[in-house]
């Protein structure tokens, strides 16, 4: 099979972790006889510096003409600390989601048995955790209009907007995921306060009869935030709106013990994007200390979701888990910091395992 991949390393640690994910991707393609074609493009702060646009047209054209996108990270402190900045790296990420029609972000939340002691939660709470969080990605308060500030700058406003079409398509996907798993779906909203949440709940209830085998649970977002920490094993498939999903999935990431372990897939109308859930971690940029596993696991999701190559994806996950069991980990997971491996050394270990 021919795999035509757009590579967007982005900012901060993005280039370092992307390098390791590409090494793994190339080896897997060689091992299974696939033809791999990769082209690299700018996104984020580096794109602003180069061309003044965090998501240039050339990058978008490459994404549209590719089978899948591997994405690293986005963001830089000089923009975070400047509230007056007119152009921001994150605008590139939002533009990419909107232009590619990436309406659903899929984040699996699992724990590795060898890392149970790394989680801040008690063992009995997290052993066996395995759920999927599905976040709506192109609607809600991040995209709603009007948005801005008053002329005197003393008042700011953001609009949260959802249409029936946007809600139906993400709920349809969530129900389908539930059917393929344990037939349990949790719809997270704030229907006691927000009109948009009441629309979500209304549509979900209308759709329930189409999926009679699925048990649907409705949960306010504040309660869901508590339940993820108290009883994470109760969840199977969770679906929610954009901002709630952004916050809850980052909260859920700590269950595994490190944000450096969780991948994600953003799927929709055009080319799908596969990326780690962590940020650009600018403090570590260029130091060769960042955990590459989430990006490598994102490549595994790419094989599975974009190309239906399940064996390839499973082998990558097996290699990552083997590296963790063997203690071949970066400083975020190492018991003894002096024995922590570098980003590239973890990549070397996984490559060696896959080469056997």
Instruction: With CA atoms as reference, report the closest residue to 39 among 14, 60, 13, 54.
Output: 60
The count of other CB atoms within 10 Å of the CB of residue 311 is 10
Instruction: Tell me, yes or no, if 142 is annotated catalytic.
Output: yes
Instruction: Tell me, yes or no, if 154 is annotated catalytic.
Output: no
Domain boundaries, the chain: 1-102+263-356, 120-256
| Superfamily classification of domain 120-256 | Isopropylmalate Dehydrogenase (3.40.718.10)
Structure confidence at residue 97 (pLDDT):
92
Name the active-site residue from 57, 113, 222, 335.
222
Query: For the residues of 160-174, what is the DSSP string, one character each?
Result: ----HHHHHHHHHHH
Instruction: Tell me, yes or no, if 246 is annotated catalytic.
Output: yes
Measured over the CA atoms of residue 290, residue 291, residue 293 and residue 295, the dihedral's sign is negative
Structure confidence at residue 27 (pLDDT):
98
Instruction: Tell me, yes or no, if 190 is annotated catalytic.
Output: yes
If 0-12 CB within 10 Å is exposed, 13-18 middle and 19+ buried, where does residue 116 land? middle
Instruction: Tell me, yes or no, if 67 is annotated catalytic.
Output: no
pLDDT by residue for the chain (356 residues), tens only, comes to 999 999 999 999 999 999 999 999 999 999 999 999 999 999 999 999 999 999 999 999 999 999 999 999 999 888 877 777 788 899 999 899 999 999 999 999 988 887 888 888 888 889 899 999 999 999 999 999 999 988 888 999 999 999 999 999 999 999 999 999 999 999 999 999 999 999 999 999 999 999 999 999 999 999 999 999 999 999 999 999 999 999 999 899 888 877 778 899 999 999 999 999 888 999 999 999 999 999 999 999 999 999 999 999 999 999 999 999 999 999 988 887 778 999 999 999 999 999 98
Name the active-site residue from 11, 55, 118, 142.
142
Tell me the C-alpha distance between 316 and 5, whole Å: 17
Q: What is the CATH number of domain 1-102+263-356?
A: 3.40.718.10
Three-state SS for 137? coil
For the chain, the farthest-separated pair of C-alpha atoms sits apart, in whole angstroms, at: 65
Q: What angle do CA 220, 221, 222 make, to 5 degrees?
A: 95
Name the active-site residue from 67, 158, 217, 246.
246
Beta bridge partners of 171: none
1-102+263-356 matches 120-256 in fold: yes
Beta bridge partners of 8: 71
């Amino acid at each position: 099979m021919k795999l035509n991949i757009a590579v967007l390393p982005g900012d901060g640690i993005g280039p370092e972790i992307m390098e390791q994910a590409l090494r793994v991707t190339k080896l897997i393609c060689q091992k299974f006889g696939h033809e791999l074609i990769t082209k690299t493009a700018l996104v984020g702060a580096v794109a602003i510096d180069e061309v003044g646009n965090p998501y240039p047209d050339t990058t978008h054209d490459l994404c549209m003409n590719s089978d899948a996108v591997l994405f690293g990270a986005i963001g830089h402190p000089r923009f975070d600390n400047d509230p007056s900045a007119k152009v921001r790296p994150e605008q590139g990420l939002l533009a990419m989601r909107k232009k590619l029609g990436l309406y659903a972000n899929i984040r699996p939340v699992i724990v590795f048995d060898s890392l149970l002691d790394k989680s801040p939660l008690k063992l009995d709470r997290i052993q066996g955790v395995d759920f999927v969080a599905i976040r709506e990605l192109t609607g809600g308060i991040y995209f709603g209009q009007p948005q801005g500030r008053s002329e005197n700058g003393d008042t700011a406003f953001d609009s949260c907007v959802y249409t029936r079409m946007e809600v139906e398509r993400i709920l349809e996907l969530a129900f389908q995921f539930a059917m393929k798993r344990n037939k349990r779906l949790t719809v997270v909203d704030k229907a006691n306060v927000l009109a948009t949440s009441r629309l979500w709940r209304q549509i979900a209830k209308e759709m329930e009869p189409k999926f009679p085998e699925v048990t649907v649970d409705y949960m306010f977002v504040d309660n869901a935030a508590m339940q993820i920490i108290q009883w994470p094993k109760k969840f199977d498939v969770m679906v929610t709106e954009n901002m709630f999903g952004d916050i809850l999935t980052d909260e859920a990431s700590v269950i595994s013990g490190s944000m450096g372990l969780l991948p994600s897939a953003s799927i929709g109308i055009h080319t799908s994007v596969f990326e780690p859930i962590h940020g650009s971690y600018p403090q570590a940029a260029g130091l060769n200390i960042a955990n590459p596993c989430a990006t490598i696991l994102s490549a595994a999701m790419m094989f599975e979701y974009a190309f239906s190559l399940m064996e390839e994806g499973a082998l990558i996950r097996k290699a990552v888990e083997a590296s963790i069991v063997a203690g071949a980990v970066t400083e975020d997971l190492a018991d003894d910091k002096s024995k922590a491996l570098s980003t590239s050394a973890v990549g070397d270990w996984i490559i060696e395992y896959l080469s056997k």
